[in-house]
Amino acid sequence: MKKPKFLIIGGTGKTGRKVVNSLRLLNQEVRVGSRNADIPFNWEKPETFGPALEGIDKVYITFQPDLAVPGAFEAVSLLVEIAKEKGVSKLVLMSGKGEIEAERCEGAVINSGLDYSIVRANWFSQNYSENFLLEPVLQGVVALPMGDMKVPYVDTGDIADVVVECLLHEEHNGRIYQLTGSETFTFPQVCELISEATGREIKFVAVSLQEYVEVMKTMDLPEIYVWLIEYLFSHVLTNPENEEITNDIQTILKRPARSFREYVKETAESGVWNQPVLVDTE
């Protein structure tokens, strides 16, 4: 029986690189979908879709920066059509829990006629060590809107393990999974946990969404990034669904989800949160 070949789009990203590593440890044939790969994949260059999908059986789809942004639906729909033309048999889509805009993209996959699994993830624990919240932690001040919002953070390692299961096993075909951690935390509680684990004082400062957006605009961030952060705070975190805790990780992996407390402890021990902060003196 012929072994399937996998394309992992975003194969160097937060979940994608872990999916690639796990599949390779299982002796699977994997193609990394990234701009700098031998066969490049670039969401902004649709002409790369076909070559990257050539000879591929199953695809893990992650879209940067997020499925909710304008243009994502059109790009994902085109990818799905080309995947069908190339004989792909299954798609696994990374989506966002509570993101109504992302559900349009889910529909493109669900209605493709191919086998599929949808993986909706809550906020990543790793946002504090690999993403936009790392720098505030290093500076010792985390200023965010909606300080009382409770978030059941999910670990990217758990997400990757679920994705691998979905890619390998037919029992997950046609399923939509919602991935969360097992406990909720507010932003002030997160700062307190990181403070305790690092021995550093990490202050939380509550700001309005308007203030937060204005600060981002002064930082010369890409317009689409500012739009996305505003969307997440105004539409996603306000959705009561995002406080809900699910058991999908434990059901699929037959083990508990990795706790946010465990993530904080291990990340603190790694030294990531004790790096010097570079100050621009110009």
- Give percent of the chain above pLDDT 70: 97
- 46-70 pLDDT, tens digit each: 999 999 999 999 999 999 989 999 9
Q: Which two tokens stand for residue 242?
A: 């995002």
Q: Mean pLDDT across the chain, nearest whole number?
A: 94
**pLDDT grade for 280, boundaries at 50, 70 and 90:** very low
- 239-258 pLDDT, tens digit each: 888 899 999 999 999 999 99
Residue 281 has pLDDT above 80, yes or no: no
Among 89, 11, 16, 92, residue whose Cα is nearest residue 55:
89
Return the pLDDT at 220. 82
Q: Which helix (H) or strand (E) holds 31?
A: strand 29-33
β-sheet with 58-61: strand ranges across: 29-33, 5-9, 58-61, 90-96, 115-121, 175-179
Instruction: Tell which CATH classification among 3.40.50.720, 3.40.50.10110, 3.40.50.800, 3.40.50.300 matches the domain 5-122+154-180+244-257.
Output: 3.40.50.720
Among 27, 88, 80, residue whose Cα is nearest residue 56:
88
Taking the C-alpha atoms of residue 144 and residue 227, their distance in angstroms, rounded to an integer, is 15
Torsion angle in degrees (nearest 10) through CA of 193, 196, 199, 204: 40
Contact by Cβ (8 Å): 200, 140: yes
Residue 279 has pLDDT above 50, yes or no: no
Return the pLDDT at 111. 98
